[in-house]
């Protein structure tokens, strides 16, 4: 199996950088072992001094959404949505211990992070422009068809595991209590993206080790290293 961005994505967004890794033993992770209180508190303090819109990483995604013909105030990247929620509520929802950890790290870095249950993805994933035939399953169990030209994460069964690039994930591959192996992808477009993803990589590896999670494959993705290969379940 592999994860890759289509050539058309690289042509339009050559500044793109990404981090991909596979985390295993996820089903063994207990909620009481994941404490994001300190990270969330630090983020809230920073937001008191400057809003999320001041972050170069968020500004870059806003420009990208505008370039794709989407209103940045209507469709926000997942990291900006988390930061807005933190600024207003001073807390993040509790969903799943791994997702709670990833959401905190996403907000901390201002970089959207996606997580997919490997067992629920059919074949490899390509970030590409939709052709209009893909299916996306919402959390309300509805099936949507992305518009042609929309950026999606598509597997070999033509399921769109995300819509509008990093706006919304599919319910089809959501991480749940039974999930064992999870593909994690972080993407950034700002000038310091490569360095910031390196920081994020170090933070995720540190937290995984503390929680007895196993990272079996990992790579930073750039124009020179575009494909991430990983084993299935």
The CA-to-CA distance between both ends of the chain, in Å, stands at 10
179-209, pLDDT tens digit by residue? Answer: 999 999 999 999 999 999 999 999 999 999 9
Every domain of the chain and the residues it spans: 2-223
| pLDDT for 228 | 98
The 3-state DSSP class for residue 154 equals strand
> Above pLDDT 90, what percent of the chain?
96
Asked if the model's pLDDT at residue 72 lies above 90, the reply is no
Half-sphere exposure of 167 (CA within 13 A, CB side): 21
In whole angstroms, give the CA distance from residue 143 to residue 137. 5
Record the tokens describing residue 73, joined without a space.
């105030």
| pLDDT for 73 | 86
| Contact (CB, 8 A) for 102 and 94 | no
> Above pLDDT 70, what percent of the chain?
100
Given CATH 3.40.50.2300, say whether it is the number of domain 2-223. Answer: no
**Mean pLDDT over residues 31-43, rounded?**
95
Asked if the model's pLDDT at residue 9 lies above 80, the reply is yes
Record the tokens describing residue 40, joined without a space.
């969330």
Record the tokens describing residue 27, joined without a space.
């089903």
Asked if the model's pLDDT at residue 142 lies above 90, the reply is yes
Asked if the model's pLDDT at residue 136 lies above 90, the reply is yes
**Mean pLDDT over residues 61-88, rounded?**
95
Residue 66: CB atoms within 10 A of its CB come to: 12
In whole angstroms, give the CA distance from residue 140 to residue 24. 28
In whole angstroms, give the CA distance from residue 184 to residue 180. 13
pTM: 0.96
| pLDDT for 2 | 97
**Mean pLDDT (the chain, rounded):** 96
| pLDDT for 106 | 98
pLDDT band for 232, please (50, 70, 90 cuts). Answer: confident
Helices (H) and strands (E) in the chain, counts: 6, 12
| pLDDT for 209 | 96
In whole angstroms, give the CA distance from residue 130 to residue 150. 5
Asked if the model's pLDDT at residue 233 lies above 90, the reply is no
């Amino acid at each position: 199996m592999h994860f890759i961005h289509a050539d058309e994505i690289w042509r339009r967004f050559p500044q793109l950088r990404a981090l991909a890794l596979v985390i295993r033993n996820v089903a063994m992770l207990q909620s009481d072992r994941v404490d994001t209180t300190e990270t969330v508190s630090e983020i809230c303090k920073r937001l008191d001094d400057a809003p999320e819109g001041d972050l170069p990483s968020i500004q870059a995604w806003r420009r990208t959404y505008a370039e794709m013909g989407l209103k940045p105030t209507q469709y926000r990247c997942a990291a900006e949505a988390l930061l807005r929620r933190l600024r207003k509520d001073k807390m993040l929802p509790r969903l799943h211990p791994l997702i709670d950890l990833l959401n905190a790290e996403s907000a901390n870095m201002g970089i959207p992070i996606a997580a997919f249950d490997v067992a629920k993805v059919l074949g490899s994933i390509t970030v590409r422009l939709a052709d209009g035939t893909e299916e996306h399953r919402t959390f309300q169990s509805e099936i949507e068809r992305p518009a042609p030209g929309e950026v999606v994460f598509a597997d070999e069964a033509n399921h769109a595991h995300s819509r509008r690039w990093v706006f919304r994930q599919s319910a089809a591959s959501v991480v749940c209590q039974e999930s064992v192996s999870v593909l994690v992808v972080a993407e950034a477009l700002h000038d310091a993206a490569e360095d910031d993803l390196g920081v994020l990589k170090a933070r995720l590896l540190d937290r995984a080790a503390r929680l007895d999670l196993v990272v079996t494959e990992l790579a930073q993705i750039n124009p020179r290293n575009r494909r991430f290969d990983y084993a299935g379940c």
